[in-house]
């Protein structure tokens, strides 16, 4: 039986632990709070993040990072992106030397503009061939109710990607392999920023043409950044690109989309933060994605607009006017 450690017992860490357990793995689920770990072990549910969902046998919760790490063939990381460095610094010495590190996170580190796999390589001292990423249209609540979804497992070493694929393939979860780690991570991180933009537009009742335009131009700017960073263009037409973008921009289950909708309806940033009780990565990562765009000299007008609205207090109507009056140009180029 494959032993897997999952660090982070929020919505996605728990839902992916369910996938792994359903696929036959023995999973230890680490979380910070003892009362939640105890509730998971005694009730077989995660009342805080997936209320009402019965967890499969094969998941054991703990607050002890060393217990989670013991004999783990795979180590899955699912904490908010901006906390990864600090957390992994504490966990890294506990991890088995051969463990495959798997990022579920969809953010870019503030300040360094590093992708999560880069932070993992740096902090855990892990070679690229031992670091993988899972990304795709995977809304945690849908997966936790075992509704069908596909996803991408990416690793520079295809044999490692295939090992990961094998341990999380179930009747309702279909992972595809990819070796384009950069493209998969960017697809996941930038779609959160575009979902904020679409949410804002939905909150303003701008209509479906506006939504489709934002999704399409959002994918164009994501691809532009990806190509400048060495990613494969095909990745952005796949599950970790278009797939995740469409799911996140269309679903009321998306925290990023909901965050944007509240802003578009006229809530202030502070009011929106106050009603958001889960991680909406795009709120911070829009700043680091824009940082990446500048470092690679890539134009990302939608990301820039989201940063303006969320962090510089620009009114959505003013931002809309600015976007629509940008100089006319060719669609491709
Ligand atoms: N929820 C989804 O549908 C989904 C799907 C795919 C990917 N993701 C990505 O997975 C990652 C985790 O998201 P989530 O949905 O599980 O978030 P969440 O808000 O549901 O859970 C976050 C977890 O991290 C813990 N946490 C918060 N701050 C922490 C800290 N400083 N140190 C340690 N633990 C801390 C919380 O207690 C919680 O257990 C994000 O990068 C997100 O973009 C989420
Ligand atoms: O709820 P969100 O906005 O973090 O999106 C969840 C997943 O990333 C969708 O694939």
pLDDT at position 333 is: 77
Name the E strands within the chain: 3-7, 26-30, 59-62, 74-77, 100-103, 131-135, 149-155, 173-178
Instruction: For residue range 94-111, list pLDDT tens digits in order.
Output: 999 999 999 999 999 999
Instruction: For residue range 272-312, list pLDDT tens digits in order.
Output: 999 999 999 999 999 999 999 999 999 999 999 999 999 99
| Average pLDDT score over residue span 35-40 | 98
Distance in angstroms (rounded) separating the CA atoms of residues 29 and 8: 7
Q: Do 154 and 180 meet the contact criterion of CB atoms below 8 Å apart? A: yes
Ligand 2 neighbour 261 (Cβ under 6 A): no
pLDDT at position 262 is: 97
Nearest to 183 by CA among 138, 142, 220, 236: 236
**What residues have CB less than 8 Å from 184, skipping those under 6 apart?**
133, 135, 152, 154, 178, 235, 240
| Average pLDDT score over residue span 146-167 | 98
Is 191 a residue of the active site? yes
Of 191, 211, 321, 329, catalytic: 191
Question: For the chain, first and last CA: distance in Å?
Answer: 51
Instruction: For residue range 183-240, list pLDDT tens digits in order.
Output: 999 999 999 999 999 999 999 999 999 999 999 999 999 999 999 999 999 999 999 9
Instruction: Please state, for a pLDDT cut of 90, what percent of the chain lies above it.
Output: 100
| Average pLDDT score over residue span 147-163 | 98
In a 3-state reduction of DSSP, which class is residue 133?
Answer: strand
Identify the structural domains of the chain with CATH numbers, from first to last.
3-179 (3.40.50.720), 188-324 (1.10.1040.10)
| 255-264 vs 181-203: helix crossing angle, rounded to 10 | 30
Instruction: For residue range 45-94, list pLDDT tens digits in order.
Output: 999 999 999 999 999 999 999 999 999 999 999 999 999 999 999 999 99
Residue 26's beta-bridge partner residues? Answer: 3
pLDDT at position 64 is: 98
Question: How many residues are given for the chain?
Answer: 333
CA–centroid distance, residue 121 to ligand 2 (Å): 24
Give the number of the ligand closest to the Cα of residue 116: 1
What one-character-per-residue DSSP string does 284-298 give?
HHHHHHHHHHHHTT-
């Amino acid at each position: 039986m494959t032993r897997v450690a999952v660090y982070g017992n929020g919505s996605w860490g728990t839902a992916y632990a369910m996938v792994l357990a359903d696929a036959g793995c023995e999973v230890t689920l680490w979380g910070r709070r003892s009362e939640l770990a105890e509730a998971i072990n005694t009730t077989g549910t995660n009342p805080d993040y997936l209320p009402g969902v019965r967890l499969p046998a094969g998941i054991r919760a703990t607050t002890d990072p060393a217990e989670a790490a013991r004999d783990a063939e795979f180590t899955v990381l699912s904490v908010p992106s901006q906390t990864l460095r600090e957390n992994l610094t504490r966990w890294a010495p506990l991890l088995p030397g051969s463990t495959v590190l798997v990022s579920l996170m969809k953010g870019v580190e503030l300040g360094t503009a590093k992708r999560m796999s880069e932070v993992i390589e740096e902090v855990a001292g892990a070679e690229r061939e031992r670091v993988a990423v899972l990304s795709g249209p995977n809304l945690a609540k849908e997966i936790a109710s075992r509704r069908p979804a596909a996803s991408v497992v990416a690793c520079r070493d295809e044999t490692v990607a295939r090992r990961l694929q094998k341990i999380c393939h179930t009747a309702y979860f279909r992972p595809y392999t990819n070796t384009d780690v950069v493209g998969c991570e960017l697809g996941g991180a930038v779609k959160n920023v575009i979902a904020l933009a679409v949410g804002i537009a939905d909150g303003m009742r701008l209509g479906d043409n506006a939504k489709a335009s934002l999704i399409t131009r959002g994918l164009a700017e994501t691809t532009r950044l990806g190509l400048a960073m060495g990613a494969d263009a095909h990745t952005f037409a796949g599950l970790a690109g278009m797939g995740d973008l469409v799911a996140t921009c269309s679903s009321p289950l998306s925290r990023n989309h909901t965050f944007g909708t509240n802003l578009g309806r006229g809530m202030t940033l502070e009011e929106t933060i106050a009603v958001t009780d889960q991680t909406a990565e795009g709120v911070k990562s829009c700043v680091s994605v824009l940082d990446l765009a500048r470092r690679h000299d890539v134009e990302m007008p939608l990301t820039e607009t989201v940063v303006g609205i969320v962090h510089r207090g620009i009114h959505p109507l003013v931002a809309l006017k600015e976007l629509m009056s940008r100089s006319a140009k060719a669609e491709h180029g």
